[in-house]
Structure 1
Amino acid sequence: MAAGAALRNRMLAAPAGLRRACARTAGPMLGLATGLTLSLACHPAVATTIKIAGGNAAGGGGEFTLKTQVLVIMTLLGLLPVLVLMMTCFTRFVIVLSLLRQALGLQQGLPNRLVTGIALILTILVMRPIGVQVYDEALKPYDDEKITLSQALRVAEAPISRFMLAQTSKSALAQIAQLSGETAVTKPEDHSFPVKLAAFTLSELKTAFQIGCMLFIPFLVIDLVVSSVLMAMGMMMLSPLVISLPLKLLLFVLVDGWTLTVNTLVSSVRGVGG
């Protein structure tokens, strides 16, 4: 307890400029994380729970208490890893990088943590404008008590829904809407949040496989050529991977493969920054 008090005293004694700089840096990322979490609360079931919790003793439907707000927010924050996977372009990035590792034959050379870390860094880079928008329009006004939590939920959901719809194919959205019974909806924005989320996930998987296939083809050609040459030379006991791996790495380095891959991934994301 004494150590915690000393830490708080040191934080309070820090220069005001340093605290403001830390706030500016952490604000957009906190806005994105909170916006993703709050967007889940737009689900009708969660919204009903919030409305019930918001009832006061007189039977009204006012804002719920601070303790209930903290409980709801902390519960939703526990779902943050799932939200990062399902509501951002992280799924696309990690699948493409995994397929690239498979094409290069570097299953042991590029560990899963490294692939996940690269995908997470690219996700933060791409999603930062969305986080800034959520922080400025929803989280900061709510923290300043200018809007209610229900208003913050609606404001935070809007930019994330626009981002997801920009990546979602019409066929996937129509199929999910038909399965959920929302065929009467005319505009994509009018679909419920779970429908948009499911369609976005399917579209991300499709896009990731398309990009991964394009990256896979050149290395597949090298494997076929090496295998054919070894078969023609009668060297069937020699693994083609021993010969093809250096050739694939050489080709990847000569064409600046990492830069091309990152540019392809980032440029494939639409609807960011607007």
Structure 2
Amino acid sequence: MDGGLSGALNILLLLTVLSLAPGLLIMCTCFVRMVVVLSLLRQALGTQSLPPTQVITGLALFLTFVVMAPTFGRMYDEGVRPYLDGTQTDQLVAWNDAKEPLREFMFAQLEATGNWSSLYAILEYRGVDVSDPSRLSRADVDMLTLVPAYMLSELRTAFLIGFRIYLPFLVIDMVISSLLISMGMLMLPPVLVSMPFKLLLFVLVDGWQLVTTSLMTGFVQPGAPAGATPFG
């Protein structure tokens, strides 16, 4: 009887994890930054719907798995495996153990980017005194506060990266537009003429590898050395 009940609980836990996994993947991992930057890159190239959204999402998804592999491994080893092995029978303790590596990852990105303002704003809204951040600790920040603060930080970082990506393509558009005006070809759309030059530049610098490599190396793994920061 106990074995059947334990098996049913394991199945229930598995179904719960599977139902929450897509949301966790979007909100608590590097997927947000990946998909936003790749989408902005597509817009900067001016290729409309190429690559297709499915390709952009798929690439961002697999890059997310690459970056998050150490964190996912720790989550399984520290939280899921002990529960499945029966060494940890308390579901709440197992959940806390499993989410701790993910919390460390999110805090590591906040430290790397220095985007603490969103976290302070949410803490202040929830009635926490943030006048002296040195008195706060990570234990004061629950997941309900950390996740939206992390997402806002990732969106800010992604848009800053997108701005830098846009600049060279904007220069090409301006040069092509000036040339067309000087030649009196006002009826020819500058975007149509500049696209081949954008694609040529992007291919010559191996743009896809450059952007994806920069994205992956831009994430800090927990435990990396850092300076004095809040919530240490």
Conservation of the 8 A alpha-carbon contact between 2:27 and 2:147: yes
* Counterpart residue identity of residue 108, structure 1: S
1:255 equivalent to 2:201? Answer no
Q: How far apart are the structure 2 equivalents of 1:176 and 1:73?
A: 31
Shift of 1:66: 5.7
Query: Alignment partner of 2:174: what SS?
Result: helix
Name the counterpart of 2:138: 188
RMSD, aligned α-carbons: 1.9
Conservation of the 8 A alpha-carbon contact between 2:104 and 2:222: no
Shift of 1:263: 1.5
Shift of 1:83: 1.4
Name the counterpart of 1:165: 107
Conservation of the 8 A alpha-carbon contact between 1:90 and 1:123: yes
Q: Which has the larger radius of gyration?
A: 1
Q: How far apart are the structure 2 equivalents of 1:273 and 1:129?
A: 12
Identity of aligned residues (%): 45
Conservation of the 8 A alpha-carbon contact between 2:67 and 2:216: yes
Q: How far apart are the structure 1 equivalents of 2:203 and 2:222?
A: 30
Query: How many matched pairs?
Result: 211
Q: How far apart are the structure 1 equivalents of 2:221 and 2:75?
A: 15
Q: How far apart are the structure 2 equivalents of 1:273 and 1:134?
A: 15
Output aligned runs, 1:66-215, within 5 Å: 67=8, 70-71=11-12, 73-148=14-89, 149-168=91-110, 169-183=115-129, 186-215=136-165
Q: How far apart are the structure 2 equivalents of 1:258 and 1:273?
A: 29
Shift of 1:133: 0.8
TM-score by length of 1: 0.72
TM-score by length of 2: 0.85
Q: How far apart are the structure 1 equivalents of 2:189 and 2:61?
A: 35
Q: How far apart are the structure 1 equivalents of 2:139 and 2:182?
A: 59
1:264 equivalent to 2:210? Answer no
Query: Alignment partner of 1:183: what SS?
Result: coil
Residue by residue over 1:6-64, the C-alpha shift from the partner in whole angstroms, topping out at 9 and shown as x without a partner, is xxxxxxxxxxxxxxxxxxxxxxxxxxxxxxxxxxxxxxxxxxxxxxxxxxxxxxxxxx9
Residue by residue over 1:225-248, the C-alpha shift from the partner in whole angstroms, topping out at 9 and shown as x without a partner, is 111111111111111122111101
* Counterpart residue identity of residue 115, structure 1: I
Conservation of the 8 A alpha-carbon contact between 2:42 and 2:51: yes
Shift of 1:73: 4.5
Structure 2: where are the runs of 5+ without partners?
225-232
Q: How far apart are the structure 1 equivalents of 2:183 and 2:54?
A: 40
Query: Alignment partner of 1:238: what SS?
Result: coil
Shift of 1:272: 4.7
Structure 1: where are the runs of 5+ without partners?
1-63
Conservation of the 8 A alpha-carbon contact between 2:35 and 2:56: yes
